[in-house]
Amino acid sequence: MSRQNKKVDDFRLDLVDDRTHKQLWCIRFSRVGFIISIIAAVVFVIFVFYALFAFTPLRRTIPGYPDETSKKAAIQNAIRADSLEKIISRWELYSENLRRVIDGEEPVRIDSIMRSGNSGYAKTREELLKRDSLMRETVRNEEQFGISNQGHRKLPIEGMHFFTPLKGVISQGYDDVVHPFIDITAPANSVVVSVLDGTVIYSGWSDDAGYTVCIQHESDIVSIYKHNSKLLKDNGDKVNAGTPVALVGGTGSISTGEHLHFELWYKGAPVNPTKYINF
C-alpha cells in the first residue's frame, strides 16, 4: 500500500502541563483563519498607534509638528493679512475715485464691484457706498461752480505760490507708497488756511478722517485737510489763499492726537507738499 500525501488545512495549538500532561488551553484554526487573524491584528495595532498620535499629546513629539504657539501666530498673521488687504482695498478705491473726480470722469461704480466678487471691497460695502456718493457730489459741485474748466488750468505746479496751511512741526513726512501725505502737529484749535485760491468741493465728516475739507484749485490742484476740530467753510464756498478753512483737532478713528493730515494732489496723483510749500 502506498501512502497518499494529504494537504493539511486544520491546525490545533495546545498548552500542556509538562509534568502531568494535562491540557491547559487549546485553540483550533484553519489556514485561512490564521491569515485573517494576522491581518486583523496588524490593522488593530496600526489603528492604536494612529489614535495615540492623532488624539493625544504624543503628536507633539513628531518632528516638525506645529505647537500651540506656532498655531496662534499663524492665526494672528492671517487676521493681520486680512485687515491689511481690506485697508489697501479701501485706499485703492478712494484714490481711484479721487483721481477720476479730479479728471472729470465717472467715479467707480460700487454695484459693479460687488457683482465682480471682489471680497476686499465687498466687506466694506457700506463705507464704499458712502464714499462713492461723496465723490459723485464732488463732481456735481465742480460742474456747478465751474472749477473744472480746463481754460483756467495754465500754470504748472512749480509756478504756483502756496501759503503754508499750518505753522507747526511735521511729525510724519511724505512717502510715495505707505504715506502719500504729511502730518503736521500744532496746538488744538490752531487755524488751518487754504494754500491757494479755490472752491470748497467737500466739507463734512467721515468716521476715519473726522472733519475734512477738500478744496479744488486752478491748474488741476486739490488740497485736502483732515482731522480738524471744526470746519469754517461749506461746500461751494470760494476761498482765497491764506483764508482760514478749519481749526486743528484730532477727530476721526485713525487720528492719534491733535494734528493736520494734509494732502496735495496734482493732475490726479499725490505729490510731496514739502517740495512746493515752506513749512
Residue-wise pLDDT for 153-210, tens only, equals 456 888 788 999 999 999 999 998 889 999 999 999 999 999 999 999 999 999 999 9
Q: How many residues does the chain have?
A: 279
138 phi, psi to nearest 5 deg? -60, -40
Q: Give the CA dihedral 135, 140, 142, 148, nearest 10 degrees.
A: 100
pLDDT of residue 231: 95
Cell of 49: 498607534
Alpha-helical regions (H) of 17-155: 31-55, 68-102, 110-115, 119-122, 125-145
User: If you write DSSP's letter for every residue of 154-170 in order, what string do you get?
Assistant: -S-GGG--PPPS--SEE
Q: Over the range 166-180, which residues count as b (16 or more CB within 10 Å of their CB) and which as e?
A: bebebeeebeeeeeb
- Collect contacts of 87-96 with beta carbons under 8 A, ≥24 apart: 88/120, 89/118, 89/120, 89/121, 89/124, 90/124, 90/127, 90/128, 93/121, 93/128, 93/131, 94/131, 95/270
CB 118 within 8 A of CB 111: no
Pick among 2.60.120.920, 3.30.2350.10, 2.70.70.10, 3.90.1150.10: CATH of 151-275: 2.70.70.10
Reading the block at residue 1, the C-alpha cell is 500500500
**What is the average pLDDT across 3-8?**
58
pTM above 0.85, yes or no: no
Report the pLDDT value the prediction gives residue 269, as an integer from 0 to 100.
92
At 143 the pLDDT is 54
* Model pLDDT for residues 78-95, shown as the tens digit of each residue: 888 877 887 887 787 777
C-alpha span between 155 and 239 (Å, rounded): 19
Q: Is 220 a residue whose pLDDT tops 80?
A: yes
Q: With cut-offs at 50, 70 and 90, classify the pLDDT of residue 30.
A: confident
User: 105-109, 151-155, 226-230, 244-248 — which is least confidently predicted?
Assistant: 151-155
pLDDT tens digits for 40-65?
Answer: 989 999 988 888 877 777 776 776 66
Question: Could you tell me the residue ranges of all domains in the chain?
Answer: 10-49, 92-145, 151-275
Q: Are 109 and 136 in contact (CB under 8 A)?
A: no
Predicted local distance difference test score (pLDDT) of residue 192: 96
Least confident range from 23-37, 54-68, 110-124: namely 110-124
The whole-number pLDDT of residue 203 equals 94
Please name the residue that has the C-alpha cell 485713525: 254
> Would the pLDDT of 147 be above 60?
no
Q: Would you call 230 helix, strand, or coil by DSSP?
A: strand
* Mean pLDDT of all residues belonging to the chain: 80
